[in-house]
Structure 1
């Protein structure tokens, strides 16, 4: 207890002025006795004598100061016992902050905001197409616009399906000024953000509630090479979408779906990798089955493999 009740404060002040106070008067303020601010008058049991405030303060502070001193002593001892091992830990593990686990959307966004605020040259991002809320788009604009104003180069990879997403297209239009480039590719797996070749962020769960903040130079270099590999194979968003139909009557996106089907992926996984909903994915599979004359899902995989449509010279633009 560190504060007196209002009634106790008033009665204690009166007692200090008068030099004593009737015992019956303090029955309504038990906090006075809890603070030990009054003691019995040796000459008259009906009265109480006030303890001087300076004495009362010293009595209350002494145990607190002793506890503080003891905790300081313990902290010094703990530091002295572990200090010899600090340098050894750094030598063995390298940077203690090379990989940081971020849990929860609030903490992830805070780390992203800090990294983008410190970004000075270039930010690379891979953004798989998902349904995104208006608030998330606004949050992205608030984070990315200052980068453009500082002259930071931004390169972003989307899936081809983003070309038919009004929300994403509006977002891109808002950031069309400055050194910003957008490209699309048929499939992406996971989200990736890299700032200034010094820090990267990747998710570890599908619900985007756990992410890794990476600052290990080797990991950063590897992820940049992965990005550049995909970037070189992607199509600028300003160019026509690569959905032309090949001579075999199958579109480029259906060729990609055929490849994933042969690899054994289920409809939901294919839709996620291509940034489309499952219904659209199944519609493409149905058209693919019709084009190949398949009567069942099992037969479709066999016909894809036998048809040769996955060969490069059968693909749109193939030689």
Structure 2
């Protein structure tokens, strides 16, 4: 009888009590009607025989129990060997599919031409993991803070990115300035920069972008957070890379902790808040542009009111207009 989950359940629920009875009574008669072919315990008894927990006495009229310790290895060891063989075989199959997946992802026609939409958070995550694992030269990522929870920066993401860096893949990541306040983000940045990545932050808002080896790009889909667009067209990917490079040149290194740098970043966030106010942006839109929560954005506005000694936003706009403040000044902000 092959041993599997069904047999184990039968063993635990019915065979074990019968074995206990045989041990207690010193054996069971071969003529016991319960264990004969038509008996209610025939299948259970046959399982004990197959496993080797009972053996027939020399006279053939009595079945006696066998020490389980002497039988266990004969049953468990083969199962363990089968498990090891199945694990090894599954690894070989995974490698075979990985090779085919590598070919599939490199073929524009395989994903529906130069543009393709993928749906589902888990599907997107799995596709991205596979894409990064196939990276050979370069990873470019732009990660806006808006609606990006710190839970997304889990250990799996860090492990995946560090593995790519150890393979010799160059990695550059762009965040908004607001990312500097996140403890999990700082921890992630410390880990990847130690492995050779470059990380910078920028005051401007940008959409999420991931480019692998300058041959395929992943951007958000228009249908929402659970869709993404895969771009294989070299011209379009090149255009996105050019946009990334322009932002990168303006961004500031994340690794530095110099006071002067933090002062410059604060000035850039202040300037952006001023532009949002003068453009008449609602608080949620302004918060999104800066990559901060609405409460933090409201705090920035309150700081400006205190700075210009006004009480309302109307007065603030008037005062900034009177002083010629536009939020696009390149020099240090004028005093009050």
Question: What is the TM-score with the length of structure 1 in the denominator?
Answer: 0.63
* 167-176 vs 193-202, which moves further: 167-176
Matched residue, 1:211: 228
Alignment of 1:27-66 (within 5 A): none
Aligned CA-pair RMSD: 2.6
Look up the match of 1:27: none
Residue 151 of structure 1 aligns to a residue whose secondary structure is coil
Structure 2 CA distance for aligned equivalents of residues 187 and 208 of structure 1: 20
* Aligned twin of 2:291: 275
Q: Which residue of 1 aligns with 2:122?
A: 106
What residue in structure 2 maps to residue 122 of structure 1? Answer: 138
Name the CA shift for 1:235/1:135 in 2 (closer, same or farther; >3 Å): closer
**Regions of 4+ moved over 6 Å:** none
Q: Distance in 1 between matches of 2:152 and 2:328?
A: 43
**Equivalent runs, 1:224-235 vs 2, <5 Å:** 224-235=241-252
Structure 2 CA distance for partners of 1:154 and 1:295, relative to 1, 3 Å: same
| Matching of residue 286 in structure 1 with residue 305 in structure 2 | no
Structure 1 residues 305 and 102, CA gap change in structure 2 (3 angstroms): farther
Residues of 1 paired with 2:179 and 2:243: CA distance? Answer: 21
- Deviation of 1:271 after TM superposition, in Å, equals 1.4
Shift of 1:163: 1.5
Q: How does 1:160-179 map to 2 (within 5 A)?
A: 160-179=177-196
Preserved contact between residue 201 and residue 254 of structure 2 (Cα < 8 Å)? yes
How far apart are 1:259 and its partner, in Å? Answer: 1.0
Residue 252 of structure 1: aligned partner: 268
- Structure 1 CA distance for aligned equivalents of residues 328 and 149 of structure 2: 35
Aligned partner of residue 141 in structure 2, secondary structure: strand
Alignment partners' CA distance in 1, 2:125 and 2:294:
29
Q: Deviations over 1:263-313 (max 9, x none)?
A: 232111221222211111101101112222333223333333332233424
1:157-194 deviation digits (Å, cap 9, x = unpaired):
11112222100111112223333101111122211100
8 Å CA contact 2:153–2:185 kept in 1: the answer is: no
Which of 176, 184, 188 is residue 159 of structure 1 equivalent to? 176
Residue in structure 1 matching 2:312, options 296, 302, 308: 296
The change in CA–CA distance for 1:313 and 1:99 in structure 2 (over 3 A counts) is: closer
CA pair 259-143 structure 1, distance change in 2 beyond 3 A: same
Question: For residues 126 and 275 of structure 1, what CA distance do their matches in structure 2 show?
Answer: 13
